[in-house]
Amino acid sequence: MVRFSPCPDYSPEACRRAVAAAAGPLDWVRPGMRIGVKLNLVHAAPPEAAATTHPALVKALVELLQARGATVVLGDSPGGLYTAAYLDRVYRSCGLADTGAELNHDCSIGQGTFPQGQVLRQFQYTAWLDHCDAIINFCKLKTHGMLAMTCAVKNLFGTIPGTMKPEYHFRFPQALDFARMLVDLQLYWKPQLHLVDAVVAMEGNGPTAGSPRPLGLVLGAENPFLLDEICAPLIGLRPEQVLTQQVARERGLIPDLPFPAELEPYRQTDFRLPPAKSTLFRSLLPGKAGRAVGAAVQKLLSPRPVLTPEKCVGCGKCRDICPAKAIVLEDGKPQIDRSRCITCFCCQEFCPKGALAAKRTALARLLTRTE
């Protein structure tokens, strides 16, 4: 079941009402519990940028949990250094100093084992979650260059330490395998509750350099895959366009429920989306030859990160974050070696100026004639 509540703005009263409705009865919270709230703090951005979970909603959740006698700790592992000093900078930028909760500064790393994982069986994770009795996943609804949408399922990638994230993109360079890894992470952690900040979502060049887009909703559910199944149509996506949803449906993790009629007025028909990854010619020929040809054609048709030179300041963050080492700086501007690029969109996601964006190739535009 997905719960949802209108929330026209981030005023304290609107947030309290909406979070209480989306969170449900919270009967599972017991006095003395330590509850970790895993936020979306992708980078040091002010709340009005719509890149991170809004602090007004976080404060409303903290008050609800504390009223039941729980201790609340907030945390995430943003892209970049996983250190207490960097976390402090992110917390300050994201407006979390006055939420009334503890802010995590434990930067230790744990070793996870998940034999049931489809692709992820051994991994490293942020060990602050080991000291929590329950986890709440509080994400932000945004577009995403690689996966089309980031919401409840993708948000658990923040349990991988920041500097290790590029390694996981390189470990799972195919987008579907990366999506399978994200689904495995969800099944490993099993958060008690998932909440979505869709009061102001992000459209366009998400998940960090897009534009705020008001939707006026807070949503919640115990099943993250069902929650994402509802959120995708809100921003004009078919659920099958979101790779994590493809994987979840193949694994029988999504109950077959209709889109709630009460949410129809909130559907956006002109939400600016990243270009979808092409699935044309995936099985052009049988066997190894078919896979090889399909992979080649897929590379020609799939979107790729493209630079807008006038926005670039030559900081080198894209070069440093690239897991495939496919970027060099020439005359202060990044040059991408397309033969090495794995289209993980780390460069696009972590560019501080939004100078890189997911763009469709000329061949894809020619074949589909949608641009």
Tell me, what CATH number does 34's domain have?
3.40.50
Q: Are strands 134-144 and 193-203 parallel, antiparallel or unpaired?
A: parallel
Q: Where are the beta strands (DSSP E) in the chain?
A: 2-6, 34-39, 71-75, 102-103, 109-113, 122-126, 134-144, 148-150, 193-203, 211-221, 304-307, 327-330, 333-336, 356-359
- Residue 236 predicted with pLDDT over 90: yes
Least confident of 110-124, 286-300, 332-346: 286-300
d(CA 139, CA 195): 6
Residues 257 and 355 in one domain: no
- Residue 163 predicted with pLDDT over 90: no
Instruction: Give me the domain span that covers residue 52.
Output: 2-266
d(CA 208, CA 257): 31
Q: What is the CATH number of the domain that holds 316?
A: 3.30.70.20
Residues 99 and 185 in one domain: yes
pLDDT of residue 370: 41
- Residue 283 predicted with pLDDT over 50: no
- In this prediction, residues 61-75 reach a mean pLDDT of 98
Query: In the structure, what pLDDT confidence band is assigned to residue 252 with cuts at 50, 70 and 90?
Result: very high
Name which residue leads in pLDDT, 366 or 54.
54
Find residue 103's DSSP bridge partners. Answer: 74
Residues 195 and 244 in one domain: yes
* Residue 290 belongs to a domain: no
Let me know if 347 is exposed, middle or buried by CB neighbors in 10 A (0-12, 13-18, 19+): buried
pLDDT of residue 330: 94
- Residue 371 predicted with pLDDT over 50: no
pLDDT of residue 274: 87
- Residue 365 predicted with pLDDT over 90: no
d(CA 155, CA 136): 11
Residues 334 and 247 in one domain: no
Share of the chain above pLDDT 70, in %: 89
Task: For residue 55, say if its preceding peptide bond is cis, omega within 30 degrees of 0.
Answer: no
Residues 113 and 160 in one domain: yes
* DSSP code at position 40: -
Residue with tokens 């006026």: 216
- Residue 5 predicted with pLDDT over 80: yes
- In this prediction, residues 218-225 reach a mean pLDDT of 98
Residues 234 and 153 in one domain: yes
- Residue 55 predicted with pLDDT over 90: yes
pTM (2 d.p.) = 0.87
- In this prediction, residues 19-42 reach a mean pLDDT of 98
Task: Please state the domain count of the chain.
Answer: 2
pLDDT of residue 349: 86
- In this prediction, residues 34-45 reach a mean pLDDT of 97
Average pLDDT of every residue of the chain: 91
Residues 94 and 142 in one domain: yes
Residues 116 and 260 in one domain: yes
Residue with tokens 């009402």: 17
Query: In the structure, what pLDDT confidence band is assigned to residue 284 with cuts at 50, 70 and 90?
Result: very low
* Residue 250 belongs to a domain: yes
pLDDT of residue 363: 57
- In this prediction, residues 105-121 reach a mean pLDDT of 97
Residue with tokens 């979840």: 248
